[in-house]
Chains A and B, each alone.
Chain A
Amino acid sequence: MKLLDMTKKYGKATYKYPLEPYEVSEGFRGKPSYTYDNCIGCTACGVACPSNAINVKLNEDKTKLVWEFDAARCIFCGRCDEVCPTGAIVLSQEFELAVKFDKNNLKERGELDVEYCEVCNKPFTTKRLISYILHRLEKVGWDKETLGEKVKYAKTCPTCKREEKVEVITKYLKRGTK
């Protein structure tokens, strides 16, 4: 009998969900939301993601860097949010992820233009990443002139940079032995 009294006392305990929204708390960790315009393709999120929900890879003909997110693999840990330098990916309050019939609807994609190495002409990063770096350097007080000199360096791929370094050093050492 006591149980029936309790039912009276507390009344309705259910929501009319989904006809009425379910409010989540402020710090809720929901589906990561991606803002294409902010993404610079640095791949930090892809490296940090423990469940491989995010993959950042060159496409087949190496003309675009493809950022891809699969909500079905996401465990909402928020590591991507933590490492993204531009806030392009942040956890949202969204939790209604179900899709009908086609699992591809769980995926999100962004294609970024790639930058080619000034020396070997191979694609190695995105245009946006280069301009992001230059922009940051400008912000910390580098003047236009020094920056101009550095553009070539920024647009050289790591392999070529390494080779260039080796070349310089060997030259230097050879001079030393003479």
Chain B
Amino acid sequence: MKIGDKLINKVKEKITIHEIYRQPEDQITITVDRNDLPETVRILYYDLGGWLSSMIPNDERQINGNFALYYVLSMEGGKMTPEDELPQDEKCWITVKTFIPANDPTFPSVTLKVPAAVWYEREAYDMFGLTAIGLPDPRRLVVSDDWPEGLFPLRKDAMDYRHRPDPVDHKDEPEAKFLKPEGAGVLDVPLGPLHITSDEPGHFRLYCDGDTIIDADYRLFYQHRGMEKLAENRMNYDQMGYLAERVCGICGYAHAIGCIEAAEKAIGLEIPLRAQAMRVICLEIERLHSHLLNIGLACEVTGNVNAFMHIFRIREFSMELAQLVTGGRKTYGNVVMGGLRRDMTGTEIKKSLELLETIEEQTKEVWEAVMDDKNQVDRWKGVGLLDKQVARDFSPVGPNIRGCGFKRDSRYDHPYDFLTQLDFEIPTENGCDVFARETVRYRELLESVSIIRQCFEMMPGGLTVIKPQTMIKPGAYAIGNDEAPRGENIHWIMHGNAQKVYRWRCRAATYNNWTSLRYQFRGNTIADAALIVCSLDPCYSCTERVTVVDINSKKTKILTYQDLKRYSQSSKNHPLKNM
């Protein structure tokens, strides 16, 4: 009996499965009828303990005349209680695949049964024109509101990747629709539009009753760069990894690894042990600097600039560590199919071990000092609660879900290569609030230090790269997963002809965290909004500008970034008091 067979047999009791296909042993794809799709996903998700990790729409008209959908479920157990978990050797990926005929591009929506699918299904329409029938929220997600109707960029015959539709005149731009609660006294607070301190734009609408947020909605993807289109049929695998790296400025390495792992897994390529160990090291270095950044910002947003400075002082050591390991302050420009470009010397390893010592010691010191500060802890506690059931329904990832007591971590649930040889803990906290998430991050920092140390100590000798002579099989596909600082990253690659990619789907950790954010806002005050967003670590922490609209009096007031930040930091002199 192979891994996953038990689960598949349970599905078979209720659903006809047309085909079972395995890429690597633990990645199983089952093909079902279009009409059975929602029920199959539901059975796997709720009855058998799956989580929705990604959904890939694919234009396979050149291959078999149809579109296809792949719902990727991470089978690991529901985890609502500690017992509710699959045994380690039964955890696997099950992908539900279904074909959609080209002349009728519709499918029954899965969202009605599994809410976690909502963004994926909205995106399937934007990018491929596949309509989810019955989808409760069919607004556009990825493409802008003035994008031409009927142009679906990821269809193979849609457009050249260089094509840019003409922009619509500013005055003709359609208004974005927001989901909003009705009622007297509801304040509409747009947070945004662009330029949030770190680097990304996003537009939030907070609906408030007085100071309390009663609901929220958001519009993102202002920076959609069309990377998937760019890679398709054009890039070779030497370039792919470097492009994937540019998905994010903080956790890009995790994307490069996810992407290259997917390409390697699809053809069953084994890379040298030394490269495996170094990939793990780089991933953990990324976690170090990213978590330090986030804890630092969570202090800064609440006015604790002193702690922020100290944390950044320590973060600098992790950048130096990256410099020793990869030759750059970020771990970029290193991953290629078949291993890594750059090896390390013995001296570099020795120096790295010393740096680790410093990082560990000083992180503990600063965390203790932060915990000592009652004001700081009070600002974090009880804020941005993520309800356990909401979490179960929307499949969030990373410290966000581990702060709710779910032991979900890609390194633990689906380990591969060198990770299987290491000894590490997955910290969880039960507070469900900002405090729990930051505590998880702090404890993970110490784990990361320990993982890096183990890797250095066990570092196998030999090459760091092999040439993947075995070469690409057109049509082969696989999932590449890893645990980025913000949570699980999923890449899915289908190989094409001539050493090129047929389809690359990249799902960043934060994508799965946005859908439940709305619930995390509810019941909090405006002063905490920035902090809640920050605790998800989506590279934002503050807002540039806020317009407040009082629905009753139709008065508006524009708050500057400084106003909001000051209020967020001091909680004094409410900025709306004179409205």
Instruction: List residues of chain B with CB within 8 A of the CB of A29.
Output: 326-328, 333, 342
CB of B242 within 8 A of CB of A75, answer yes
Residues of A within 8 A of B342 (CB): 27, 29, 78
A75 touching B341, Cβ below 8 Å: no
B4-23 toward A: CB 8 Å interface, digit per residue (1/0)?
Answer: 00000000000000000000
Judging by beta carbons under 8 Å apart, are A75 and B333 in contact? yes
What chain A residues lie within 8 Å of B334 (beta carbons)?
A: 77
**Roughly how many angstroms separate A10 CA and B366 CA in the complex, as a whole number?**
12
B interface residues, how many (CB within 8 angstroms): 29
Q: Does B332 contact A (CB under 8 A)?
A: yes
A14-42: contact bitstring with B at CB < 8 Å (1 yes, 0 no)? 00000000001101110000000000000
Is there a chain A Cβ closer than 8 Å to B457's Cβ?
no
- Total interface residues on A, CB under 8 Å, equals 22
CB nearest to A4 among chain B residues: B306
Q: Are A50 and B313 in contact (CB under 8 A)?
A: no
Please report the C-alpha to C-alpha distance between residue A43 and residue B334 in the assembled complex, in whole angstroms. 22
User: Could you tell me if B372 and A7 are in contact, using CB atoms closer than 8 angstroms?
Assistant: no
Interface contact A79-B320, CB-CB below 8 Å: no
Contact of A77 with B333 in the complex, beta carbons under 8 Å: yes
Interchain CB contact under 8 A, A50 and B242: yes
By the criterion CB–CB under 8 Å, are A77 and B242 in contact?
yes
A13 within 8 A of B: yes
Decide if B365 is an interface residue (CB 8 Å cutoff): yes
Chain A 152-174 near chain B by CB (<8 Å), digits 1 or 0: 00000000000000000000000
Indicate if the CB atoms of A2 and B316 lie closer than 8 Å: no
- Residues on the B chain within 8 Å of A104, using CB: none
Q: Does A98 contact B (CB under 8 A)?
A: no
Would B310 and A3 count as touching, CB distance under 8 A? yes
Partner of A3, one of B306, B320, B333: B306
- Determine the distance from Cα of A155 to Cα of B323 in the docked complex, in whole angstroms: 46
Q: B373 on the interface (CB 8 Å rule)?
A: yes
| Cβ of B292 under 8 Å from chain A | no
Chain B residues proximal to chain A, CB less than 8 Å: 238-239, 242, 306-307, 309-310, 313, 316, 320, 323-324, 326-328, 332-334, 341-342, 345, 348, 365-366, 368-370, 372-373
Top 4 A-B pairs ranked by shortest CB distance? A2-B369, A29-B327, A77-B333, A13-B313
Contact sample, A vs B, 15 pairs, CB 8 Å cutoff: A2-B368, A2-B372, A3-B307, A6-B365, A13-B309, A25-B320, A25-B323, A27-B342, A28-B328, A29-B328, A50-B239, A76-B328, A76-B332, A78-B327, A82-B341
